[in-house]
Amino acid sequence: MDLSLTAEQQQFRDLAREWVDREVVPHATEWDRAEQVDTKIVGKLADLGFLGLGIDEELGGSGGDFLTYCLMMEELGRGDTSVRGIVSVSLGLVAKSIQAYGTASQRQRWLPAMCAGELLGCFGLTEPGTGSDAGSLITKAVRDGDDWVISGEKIFITNGTWAGVALIFARTGGPGPKGITAFLVPTDSPGLRRKEIKGKLGLRGQATAELGLDEVRVGDDHRLGAEGTGFKIAMAALDKGRIAVAAGSVGLARGCLEAGVAYAKERTQFGKPIAGYQLVQEMIADIAVEADAARLLVWRAADLVDRGLPYRTEASMAKLFATESAVKAANQAIQIFGGYGYVDEFPVGKAMRDARVTTLYEGTSQIQKLLIGRALTGISAF
Ligand code: FAD
């Protein structure tokens, strides 16, 4: 594995870093307080090509490999996990699934608009009764002539109230993962209800929603991939999505490190900066080492993706380690800030609340351990 970045990757990372410092970092606290990101951010992300990274240029995308995508995720995650999530769901889970499994006309219909930020995508897998056990979902799609009629409930759907297209996973066959099919459902379809979930611990800038589908009718040309392949499509999206969540978590930990070091050098107690005390340096060193180790796991997984090699287990390892370390990093950063870390004048409390979700979504830490354990032993412990 070559650990150096190409000139193009470095340029892109620097562009993302500078843009995040200018457009995201100064506003993240106010968005968190208001429980609403300024939606103009979507147009700005599109102008820089961030919503089309990895999508073919002839479809309005900006090309780029998977490692470059991860570099962007790290920088966005350093600024605000809510903004990172808008991109990782719309582009990473939905647009990239359309590129991988869509017909030519589906790609043409959705991708240019998604890359241009004219519409966002949301990913509708989780249901009130099925979270980790997503293969048991009960939303149903029934064939009616050339159409499908979809009914069911989805919960915790990122971008849910903003999205123009929902990638909905529904049961079209018997029980188990093999009976699931994916559909691209326009969110203005009659019968589709959306309700934002308020009062989240973190990710307050992000529109997380419940979706209800009451006999929503779509044509067969809205089916993504063959009948019965929906679960495979969902899992393939999540395998790469986990690497993106891991990259964002590295960014979050780095944000905590930068804030913690700056504060420790300024804050004086017992006559000298607290950065000069060994116990404070221990916390700084712990955050730095884990963030670097997590980044190496992310880059290894991304490198496997870019070389077309299997990466599922490495993606789970990166997600497990990076997200758990981000929670620890935010917790230690609060400790460095003392009482000031407990109020939102400083960013580390928000980082803690935002980090906490990363060990839950796209497969909890327990689910990542079961995936890694199954790969190593050949025995499923689910
Ligand atoms: P459960 O599956 O009920 O798990 C509860 C606990 O039991 C966890 O600790 C879990 O690890 C443990 N557990 C479950 N099964 C096992 C087992 N076999 N062995 C050991 N432990 C086990 N979903 C989407 O489809 N699209 C989205 O865009 C999306 N965005 C989200 C945004 C937010 C803010 C949140 C909070 C969630 C989002 N999710 C989304 C849903 C998320 O993926 C699920 O919450 C997650 O998969 C866990 O499912 P659950 O909440 O039902 O928990």
pLDDT tens for 328-351 read 999 999 999 999 999 999 999 999
CB count within 10 Å of CB 238 equals: 23
Classified as helix, coil or strand, 229 is: coil
Say how many Å lie between the CA of residue 376 and the centre of ligand 1. 23
Q: What percent of the chain has pLDDT over 90?
A: 98
Centre of ligand 1 from the C-alpha of residue 126, in Å:
8
Note the pLDDT of residue 233.
98
Query: How far does residue 234's CA lie from ligand 1's centre (Å)?
Result: 14
CA proximity to 247, closest of 114, 88, 364: 88
Distance 134 CA to ligand 1 centre (A): 9
Using DSSP's 3-state secondary structure scheme, residue 136 falls into helix
pLDDT at 17: 97
357 lines ligand 1 (CB under 6 A): yes
What integer pLDDT is reported at residue 88 of this predicted model? 97
Mean pLDDT of 173-180: 94
Q: Which residues does 305 contact at the CB level (< 8 Å), separation at least 6?
A: 66, 67, 240, 243, 311
Tell me the three-class secondary structure of 288-338, residue by residue. Answer: HHHHHHHHHHHHHHHHHHHCCCCCHHHHHHHHHHHHHHHHHHHHHHHHHHH
66 contacts 91 by C-beta, under 8 angstroms: no
Q: Ligand 1 in contact with 235 (CB < 6 A)?
A: no
pLDDT band (50, 70, 90) for residue 214 = very high
How far is the CA of 308 from the CAs of 101, 229, 271, 302, 305, in angstroms? 17, 21, 56, 10, 5
CB-ligand 1 contact for 366 (6 Å cutoff): yes
3 state SS of 9: helix
How confident is the prediction for the chain on average, in pLDDT?
97
DSSP state of 95: I
CA distance 192 to 81: 27
- So what's the pLDDT on residue 367? 98
Decide whether any atom of ligand 1 lies within 6 Å of the 318 Cβ.
no
Closest residue CA from atom 51 of ligand 1:
131
Query: Coil, strand, or helix at residue 1?
Result: coil
**Which sequence positions are flagged as catalytic?**
362
Mean pLDDT of 233-244: 98
Q: Within 13 Å of residue 360, how many CA atoms lie on the same side as its CB?
A: 11
Could you read off the pLDDT of 299-336 as tens digits, one per residue? 999 999 999 999 999 999 999 999 999 999 999 999 99
CA of 288 to the centre of ligand 1 (A): 29
Q: DSSP letters of 170-198?
A: EE-SSSSGGGEEEEEEETTSTTEEEEEPP
Per the CB < 8 A criterion, the answer to whether 172 and 228 are in contact is yes
What Rg do the C-alpha atoms of the chain give, in angstroms? Answer: 21
Q: Which ligand 1 atom minimizes the distance to the CA of 381? A: 18
pLDDT band at 39 (very low <50, low <70, confident <90, very high): confident
Q: Is the CB of 208 under 6 A from ligand 1?
A: yes
Q: Is the CB of 359 within 6 Å of ligand 1?
A: no
Residues 364-379: tens digit of each pLDDT = 999 999 999 999 999 9
Would the pLDDT of 1 be above 80?
A: no
- Please give the average per-residue pLDDT across 38-53, as a whole number: 95
- For tokens 């080492």, the residue is 289
Q: Among 125, 126, 206, which residue has the most ligand 1 atoms within 8 Å of its CB, making it the best to mutate? A: 126
Tell me the per-residue pLDDT of 256-296, one tens digit each, with 9 for 90 and over: 999 999 999 999 999 999 999 999 999 999 999 999 999 99
162: nearest Cα among 129, 126, 117, 198: 117
Q: What is the mean pLDDT of residues 11-28?
A: 96
156 lines ligand 1 (CB under 6 A): yes
The number of the ligand 1 atom at minimal distance from the alpha carbon of 124 is 25
The tokens 């990239």 sit on which residue? 96
Confidence of residue 76 (pLDDT cuts 50, 70, 90): very high
Residue 46 pLDDT > 80? yes
C-alpha–C-alpha distance, residues 224 and 217, integer Å: 15
Q: Report the run of H or E that residue 43 belongs to, with start and end.
A: helix 40-47
DSSP state of 6: P
Question: 363: CA distance to ligand 1 center in Å?
Answer: 6
pTM here? 0.97
Alpha helices in 88-185 (DSSP H): 96-101, 104-115
Q: Which atom of ligand 1 is nearest to the CA of 159?
A: 28
The pLDDT assigned to 171 comes to 98
CB 348 within 8 A of CB 337: yes
Ligand 1 neighbour 125 (Cβ under 6 A): yes
| pLDDT score, position 362 | 97
Nearest of 117, 99, 96, 109 to residue 50 by alpha carbon: 117
In angstroms, the Cα distances linking 168 to 69, 151, 180, 221 are: 24, 10, 10, 14
In the reported structure, the alpha carbon of residue 361 is separated from the centroid of ligand 1 by a whole-number distance in angstroms of 6
Average pLDDT for 96-100 = 98
Who contacts 21 (Cβ-Cβ below 8 Å, separation ≥6)? 79
The reported pLDDT for the residue numbered 38 is 87
Q: Which atom of ligand 1 is nearest to the CA of 158?
A: 28
Report whether pLDDT(201) > 90.
yes
